[in-house]
Structure 1
Amino acid sequence: MQDEQVLVTGGTGFIAQYCILALLKAGYRVKTTVRTLSREDEVRAQLKQGGAQPGDRLTFVKADLTSDQGWSQAVAGCTFVMHGASPTPTGQQSNEDDWIIPAVEGNLRVLRFAKAANIKRVVLTSAFGAICAGHPRMHRPFNETDWSNLSGNVWPYQKSKTLSEQAAWDFIRREGEEMELAVINPVAVLGPVLGADYSHSIRLIKNLMDGQRGCPKINCGFVDVRDVADIHLLAMTHPAAKGERFLATAGDSLWISQVAHILREKLGPLAHKVPTRIIPNWLVRLGALKDPAMRGVVPLLGVNLNSTSAKARQTLGWAPRSAEEAIIATAQSLSKLGLLNA
């Protein structure tokens, strides 16, 4: 194992960088893809913030999900692939296809090149959004047998994650041959940020710490990015992970107001701006009429999105930190790196 090489796609990503850190710590050599090689220094600086200076044990390849160029070079010499590069909410997408086509075609492109290079196993980073969306109210925690109901009220991002994961499973069934697939479905990913470029889930904590107007009645599961990296590593190496998907959550879901109380209670003066007032649902709906960014929140009002990671714990021996630890680590890192509004 010690000199095997792993490709991690999308090396500028929050989860990807923690996967790189976990792989380096475990003794692997790592390749990572970036859309522009000019970001190598930035990625290395963020990995240094995470405690790693890998030198030539980490190499960079220019590759984009929308083009074949660079992918044969990226997979060459690798035993495994961790594929998490995917469109994320940026506000630039104008219609569903802007989300869905790059996600589906990107997954299939990576799988085709991985197969051609005789990759042993691909670990795909999907999302809880491929599990939880479009359902009537659930009276049990979501688990890996659930898929988002695309005929329901589903955001384009959740649709893209659902269709791209399904496309990956279909590829493996149809033409995967000897190549194996395991899938990770994380809930909202928190944890220590490594720089100013972090995941959209982190903004939830940043907005609270910066003193947003109140707490909408939204429910969410949380998991620490360090534990997400660990479950990727387990899914890459554990024999029982072949052909399985694993929901990654630290425990029971929390309401935003509960997150606010945790920050207030544990961080004291640092969290003096954090609001604890609950915003009535009618006020959020009214705001959504004027603010397009709020419209996606409306279907989530009052909906319990609890889920279980029992499968990952039992099958892989995964033991994540608590959601509270992830929340506190996120806020402390934002403060330490000067990323909170003064």
Structure 2
Amino acid sequence: MTPLSSNPGNGAQPAGATTAVLLTYVTYASDPVNDISSYLPGWKIVWNGTQTDDGNYAFIAVDPTGANYALAIRGSLPPQDVFNNWDAFANWILEDLDVVTQVSWPYASTPKPLISNGANTSFTNVLNMQDALGSGVSLTDYLVTNVIKPGNPLTIAGHSLGGNIANVFTSYFITTITGEQYSSDNVSLYTFAAPAAGNGDFANDLDAKLPAAWHYQNANDIVPNFPVSDTIFLTGLLYDPAPAASAITVVYKGYTVSLREAFFLLSGVFLLYGYQQQNNHYTVFNTALYTEYESNTAEDWFAQAGSQHAVSNYAAFLGVMLPLQPATQGV
């Protein structure tokens, strides 16, 4: 593998963020169990989830000291399925991510916490995932026994849909361990490019019960704008003057409209759902546009979106240059 190189990055960010973004990168590796040491020397995967039918995957790893643990959760869909055209992207938002149906979230103390049905399905998939290493122990039981009871630090991390699941799992996990009288002081959460998992009551509850949470968004990445009504609207304004959503036409519910208008209309669909991102340490940064995708075509617009979404942009912000090309990481 091509070795990593470092640059100064943003010194204001916590040291754990670099480890977290590398862990999310490893979730996309072809063989995470063997590949993790190439990116995080001395780290070892000790619980390796069996990929579900929906493509969800997660692992638990420990650092060389044997004291610091991490749960890393992968986004499930390959970019060619989503960043292909308007139809594919709308299908991902409305069907695969399943955000038009919301379910009550029992692991929160706010008045009416709701998460998307898609987030709930993915969370359940991860919660029930089997260990491919043969421990026979569930994800939660492994973490409680080996990490929480001994008082070891735990980092939970995810990119894209993996970040969405990480938020939901963390909400469940903090409520579960504190309900059993264990401390959550050593738990931290890092998400990168995560679409919102739930409404304001879900997000506010997670903020309140886990202050040690950091969330990162590339301003030119469209995925974390969804399915929040205000930021879906802003998506239609990205990349001007080229590729300009106002200059590209798509079909929305049988009508030919500009891509910008399609995002404006989609924003209206989600106005009453109340989706909201977390507030704790929510960091937005800028990545330059990729010059190879600057034609006013749907192909270039979605290729630009796919490139902006890559883990490598988030790693670069934190001072790590990854060897993978930007459009090859999943969502």
The answer to whether the superposition gives a TM-score over 0.5 is no
Q: TM-score, normalised by structure 2?
A: 0.39
Q: Say which structure, 1 or 2, has more relative contact order (CA 8 Å, 6+ apart).
A: 2
Q: TM-score, normalised by structure 1?
A: 0.38
